[in-house]
Amino acid sequence: MYLEKLNSQQRLAVEHGTASEGRHVAGPLLVIAGAGSGKTNTLAHRVAHLIVKGADPYRILLMTFSRRAASEMTRRVGRICAEVLGTNASAMADSLNWSGTFHGIGARFLRDYAEQIGLDPAFTIHDREDSADLLNLIRQELGFSKTESRFPGKGACLAIYSRAVNSQKELGLVLKESFPWCVGWEAQLRELFIAYVEAKQAQNVLDYDDLLLYWAQMVSEPLIAEEIGSRFDHIMVDEYQDTNRLQASILMALKPDGQGLTVVGDDAQSIYSFRAAEVRNILDFPGSFEPAAKIITLEQNYRSTQPILKAANAVIDLARERFTKNLWTDRESSRRPRLVTVRDESEQARYVADLVLDNREEGLKLKQQAVLFRASHHSGALEVELTRRNIPFVKFGGLKFLDSAHVKDMLAALRFVQNPRDKVAGFRLMLLLPGVGPASAGRALDLMAADRNPILTLSEMQAPPRAGSEWTEFVSVLQELKGGNYDWATEIARLREWYQPHLERLHEDAPTRLADIEQLEQIAASYPSRERFLTELTLDPPDATSDHAGAPLLDEDYLILSTIHSAKGQEWTRVFMLNVVDGCIPSDLAVGTSAEIEEERRLLYVAMTRARDQLDLIVPQRFFTHGQNAQGDRHVYAARSRFLPATLLQFFEVCSPTQSKSDVQSSQAARQVRIDMAARMRGMWK
């Protein structure tokens, strides 16, 4: 029976408030504990247990930090329930209809209540890049891009806007605290943000932050909050340490008395302050209710071996502030984690590739091994090495697939069909057409936005003077699709047909890109509608990059490459961490405040605690930087990360790859050799 596999604390959490039959009312519950202690597992068991005890799965709201984590959780729940109830596991998982990310769930409620809050339910969602583009457009319209001293760039503007929204703080304070170099622009920024909000409303688009902001605003109306809250008997949140003020306010509005609310997390793994995550959320949770929430802590780590856990604990012990206790484990091993010094990034890449293959020879699947890094571009050299050796891999946290121009074109087309007032999407599409420039595209879009029937306006419009038959073709495709003549699968196929000639005209490597579009079509086929597809994809994009590894099929074996942020919550038998040097971790972008440094320390802790049996931290001595300085690209000498001071070396096996030692010896030997070349040259003709 599933309960017997749990330890007593986990079991307490799973059974909390479920003693009586029927619809359960359980007081607020917080499970707080370190990495690998079974928090996520406990949450899955709790959901399953509630269902076994009679709770209605449709009345459970389950929120995790990524779509991947959400589907992993529903699968687990399905399995446990199926085991006990003898039901079909995947049907059970499907009935957990309200499982997803905060942003994804928010989008669904906003569509549901669109009319009440004055939104057109056909709204589309801008990803970060679209939002930055729109801000940029407005920045130019307002003339701020031509100011004498430099006005903050579009990226900075978006970061400021987003921070203010998510932290719920006054603009002035946000500038002072987080963007001090922009303090002088407060009035202009305010003007920019007002215009930005108006533009979004006129175009019927929401950005990421709006999904939380609108949701929070909507549930600040008690009647709506109560209606949504009463749809659910249970609301559960994983990784609560990475939620921000808005998310906490939404939860509190839905369940003001905390009944049915369960959150789990670990303050030592809080790594999202750049999105205004508030570690105080988890610390303040218990006191937010009357009577206070029940707190359950877990103490045993089931993931890692003792030496790995000891080393990770030692790293986090140096943190300035923490609340969760160190964990223990009974998984003994004589193998300490390795701290491997290599010459440079290419030796690092060879080292990882060699070992990954050795491990596979010994029977460890590629999928059970992962390579982690602080920033997405750190894996460049390794990606080249893996490709050269034909080792398939999938990269998480890089988002290359969706970043590519052709995939973005297709998505823009779908978005424009969905919402013809979306100027960012429309602009992108019209500029694809030969003979259409920014001015005529802008005029067309303005006319469309001003009309109740934008597509009709478009079709009655005169084609821009230099545009050819492509313009007519473009208009008629939009009309066809907007006319609702096709089902969803045919629709995307029809768009591809339209797009293909443009793709071939614009890109030399069209065949590779077409393969991506086909992959996009396949992904699309698994969604019920255009609207769901666009929403989910914009909020939590797939990470596979087909240009490197070939489209990975589910049953294929591949190595995982991931940023630490995207590795959250996961585990692998064997973990390699690249570039454990100062400048990479802590990142040189984050050495401003001590709060930033502390977050970088927690990132290293998160990385280390992903490993089950073996962990290699790699320290390249020379490091190649893409120069923004006068000298251009150059090598710099790197020092071991400051989070691993000499006192911590005792927890590691400090080594360098044997291969490189012999390399060093042979290169030293080579240097001893002396040749009298002049004599040889003369000798040749004798």
Chain residues binding Mg ion by CB under 5 A are: 39-40, 569
| Tokens 């690209």 sit on residue | 633
Query: Closest separation between CB of residue 484 and Mg ion, Å?
Result: 43
Pick what 38 binds: ligand ATP, Mg ion, none; C-beta below 5 to 8 Å, kind-dependent. Answer: ligand ATP
Listed as own residue / partner, the contacts of 345-349 with beta carbons closer than 8 Å and 24 or more positions apart are: 345/380, 345/381, 345/579, 345/620, 345/622, 345/623, 345/624, 346/381, 346/385, 347/620, 347/657, 347/660, 348/381, 348/382, 348/578, 348/579, 348/618, 348/620, 349/381, 349/382, 349/384, 349/385, 349/386
Query: Closest separation between CB of residue 191 and Mg ion, Å?
Result: 43
Q: Record the tokens describing residue 322, joined without a space.
A: 């923490």
Q: Record the tokens describing residue 189, joined without a space.
A: 């920024």
Looking at the Cβ atoms of 13 and 254, the one nearer to ligand ATP is 13
Residue 346 burial (10 A CB sphere; 0-12, 13-18, 19+) = middle
Instruction: Kindly list the residues in this chain that would bind ligand ATP in the complex (CB under 6 A).
Output: 5-7, 10, 35-41, 266, 269, 302-303, 569, 571, 609
Looking at the Cβ atoms of 78 and 569, the one nearer to Mg ion is 569
Residue number closest to ligand ATP, CB atom: 38
Pick what 35 binds: Mg ion, ligand ATP, none; C-beta below 5 to 8 Å, kind-dependent. Answer: ligand ATP
Query: Closest separation between CB of residue 572 and Mg ion, Å?
Result: 14
Looking at the Cβ atoms of 42 and 641, the one nearer to ligand ATP is 42
Looking at the Cβ atoms of 47 and 352, the one nearer to Mg ion is 47
Looking at the Cβ atoms of 163 and 610, the one nearer to Mg ion is 610
> What value, to the nearest 5°, has the Cα angle with vertex 412 and ends 409 and 417?
130
CA distances (Å), origin 219, targets 200, 215, 260: 21, 6, 17
Q: Which of 436, 432, 575, 565 is nearest to 499 (CA)?
A: 432
Amino acid at 45: H
Looking at the Cβ atoms of 39 and 336, the one nearer to ligand ATP is 39
Pick what 6 binds: Mg ion, ligand ATP, none; C-beta below 5 to 8 Å, kind-dependent. Answer: ligand ATP
Residue number closest to Mg ion, CB atom: 40
> What is the SS3 assignment for 304?
coil
For the chain, counts of helices (H) and of strands (E)? 30, 17
Looking at the Cβ atoms of 303 and 395, the one nearer to ligand ATP is 303
Q: Which of 227, 233, 223 is nearest to 58 (CA)?
A: 233
Query: Closest separation between CB of residue 6 and ligand ATP, Å?
Result: 5
Looking at the Cβ atoms of 24 and 39, the one nearer to ligand ATP is 39
Pick what 266 binds: Mg ion, ligand ATP, none; C-beta below 5 to 8 Å, kind-dependent. Answer: ligand ATP
Query: Closest separation between CB of residue 209 and ligand ATP, Å?
Result: 25
CA 252 to chain centre: 25
Looking at the Cβ atoms of 36 and 426, the one nearer to ligand ATP is 36
Backbone region of residue 259 per phi and psi (left: phi > 0; alpha: psi in -120 to 50; beta: other values): beta
Query: Closest separation between CB of residue 372 and ligand ATP, Å?
Result: 13
Looking at the Cβ atoms of 40 and 247, the one nearer to Mg ion is 40
Query: Closest separation between CB of residue 558 and Mg ion, Å?
Result: 23
Q: Phi/psi of residue 514, each to 5°?
A: -60, -35
Length of the chain: 686
Q: What is the DSSP string of 464-482?
A: PTT--HHHHHHHHHHHHHH
Pick what 420 binds: Mg ion, ligand ATP, none; C-beta below 5 to 8 Å, kind-dependent. Answer: none
> What value, to the nearest 5°, has the Cα angle with vertex 342 and ends 340 and 346?
130
DSSP state of 581: B
Query: Closest separation between CB of residue 376 and ligand ATP, Å?
Result: 21
Amino acid at 38: G
Pairing of strands 29-32, 294-297: parallel
Query: Closest separation between CB of residue 641 and Mg ion, Å?
Result: 24
Pick what 303 binds: ligand ATP, Mg ion, none; C-beta below 5 to 8 Å, kind-dependent. Answer: ligand ATP
Q: Under 8 Å CB-to-CB from 408, ≥6 apart: which residues? A: 402, 428
Query: Closest separation between CB of residue 39 and Mg ion, Å?
Result: 5
Looking at the Cβ atoms of 24 and 612, the one nearer to ligand ATP is 612
Query: Closest separation between CB of residue 373 and ligand ATP, Å?
Result: 18
